[in-house]
Amino acid sequence: MMFEVLRVDATEFKKNVGDKVKKGEIIGYLKNTPVVVNVGGIIQCIYFDEDTHELEVVILAEKVKE
């Protein structure tokens, strides 16, 4: 099982738990810099950091067929 954890600004984040994301997709921004998904998969959970007003997005990678 492979996970990816990304931080994004909470202000304009449009995804929800259970949403699929594709490798290379921009899911948000952090300090005006695009945040790009490195693995395709499904968003498993989202944590909000009150101090920084950022989200930690946990993505479970989909299995790759060989």
Domain CATH for 28: 2.40.50
| Cα distances (Å, whole numbers) of residue 5 to 38, 47, 53, 59, 65 | 10, 10, 16, 6, 23
Query: What percentage of the chain has pLDDT greater than the value 70?
Result: 95
Average pLDDT over residues 55-65: 86
Could you tell me the pLDDT band of residue 62, with boundaries at 50, 70 and 90? confident
| pLDDT(63) > 90 | no
Average pLDDT over residues 4-15: 93
Asked, for residue 66, whether it belongs to a domain, the answer is no
Maximum C-alpha span of the chain: 43
Provide the residue range defining the domain that includes 44: 3-61
Q: What is the pTM of this model?
A: 0.86
